[in-house]
Amino acid sequence: MTELHDLDATSQAELLSRREVSSVELVRHHLDRIEAHAEALGAFITVTADQALAQAAEADALRAGHEATQFLGVPTALKDLTSTAHVPTSMGSAIMRENVPTTDAYVVELIRRAGFISLGKTNTPEFGLSSYTDNDLVGPARTPWDPTRNAGGSSGGAAAAVAARLVPLAQGSDGGGSIRIPSSCCGVVGFKPSRGRVSAGPVGSDWTGLAGDGPIARTVRDAAALLDAMAHPMPGDLRPLPDPDIAFTDWAAREPRRLRIACWSDPYLPGIETSASSVAAWEEASRMLESLGHDVVDVVNPFPPELEPQFNVVWSSGMAAAPVPEEAIPSLRANTRYWMARGREASGVELARAIQFLEATTREVLASMNSFDIWLTPTLALPPQPSEWFTESGDPTEDHRRELLFTPFTAVYNMAGVPAASLPLHWTEATPDTPSLPVGVMLAGRPGEDGPLFSLLSQVEEAAPWADRRPPGPWTS
């Protein structure tokens, strides 16, 4: 018999619709799994069990009255960077341990409006700054495929929770790869939408144009469904995309047309090499896309290395602008203080020039690549790494260098504002010393063309399904 937690959110919603399970039963089942496994994986910072069960009872009452949305009563989780009213939201920082917002992020309101029930706040690094998840609250998030290795960041807790079947899908956010990186490390689907697709309101801001919320799931159809819930602008958004004319779940059910796909596996930064496992995953994906009838063309990485220092000016300025009291700065982690100090060194003129450089340069890249529908690259240059690998030097400058060695592919898509997804298409061979580890590949589309990208993702999933692959360990039972 298939266990409830082995079903994706769409299948769980179907059970609820047929009254074969109640929302209270479904939520309690996942809360029991969180109690049993979340601490070992560092998946959650806060669990909202009482609130979730109360909402599940309300969902069951609405279903009894035939007032149900499709996903009414299905469990999910929210990233601890995301403002959630009356729920502790620490942003991964010990200095924010007691922070309890009074306002929901608009994306939280939309997810709740779609009927999903959050079971808690997932683990994230301090202020979401790093490509690995670790903090002074609950420690690192770990990939269920090998808990000695980090789940990636900054949505590491969300990806670990989805991979370990603690929730069927979860909300994440991505400013430089923070959905796709942990999705690769944990063997799940991570989708970064186009710039402006998901609102940062009412209290958040996307002044950099880099960050946005998106779904993490085990199946493409679930990722599309969660984005359907999220993708609605609110008045006052800085650069909103309108509600899509066609639902992303409908796009995911469509066969894609024949596509022209550009492929590269070399990082845009000199001195960084792509690991053999990442290249193997990319080569397998390239062959698969050709077998599906698409035109696959090898090209030189079109992004210039000059983007990276300008990206750092924008990234660090955001941290420098955070409302952290001066007396609290010594309590921040070394990596956070590093980015804050770099941001404080940048002048307003330097920041304006950096933003203009990112915009002009990525516009030039997009124009030069306009004959291609899709881009294919590895998601990461390395497989999942131990948490201590990132920080063992004790030098934040070295930590940053290692993060670049780990993830030199993802941030350029944030700079360009295009939709991009990591798919779990490859696993390394197990050895006596190392278990099999997931290795993602990344597919990106043109700006605003999230829907056609979902069509391709579904086609790839059908050709090489992954959802039944379970990580070893106690969380598989």
Catalytic residue numbers, as ranges: 79, 154, 178
DSSP 235-284: TT-SSPPPPPSS-HHHHHTSPPPP-EEEE--S-SSTT----HHHHHHHHH
What are the DSSP calls for 439-461, one per residue?
EEEEEEE-TT-HHHHHHHHHHHH
Q: CB–CB of 243/231 below 8 Å?
A: yes
Question: Quick count: other Cβ atoms within 10 Å of Cβ 11?
Answer: 17
Do you find a cis peptide bond into 154, omega within 30 degrees of 0?
A: yes
- Show Cβ contacts of residue 268 under 8 Å, excluding neighbours closer than 6 positions: 301, 303, 304, 305, 307, 308, 408, 409, 412
Phi, psi of 141 (to 5 degrees): -90, 140
Q: Which helix (H) or strand (E) holds 1?
A: none
Q: What angle do CA 50, 217, 428 make, to 5 degrees?
A: 125
Buried b (16+ CB within 10 A) or exposed e, 336-348: bbbbbebbeebee
Dihedrals phi, psi of 356, to nearest 5 degrees: -65, -40
d(CA 40, CA 59): 30
Q: What is the rounded CA–CA span in Å between residue 270 and residue 366?
A: 21
Which tokens sit at 130? 């790093």
Q: Is 78 helix (H, G, I), strand (E, B) or coil?
A: strand
* Token representation of residue 190: 């991570």
Cα angle 120, 226, 236; round to 5: 90
Q: In 89-121, which positions are buried (b, 16+ CB within 10 angstroms) versus exposed (e)?
A: bbbbbebbeeeebeebbbbbbbbbebbbbbbbb
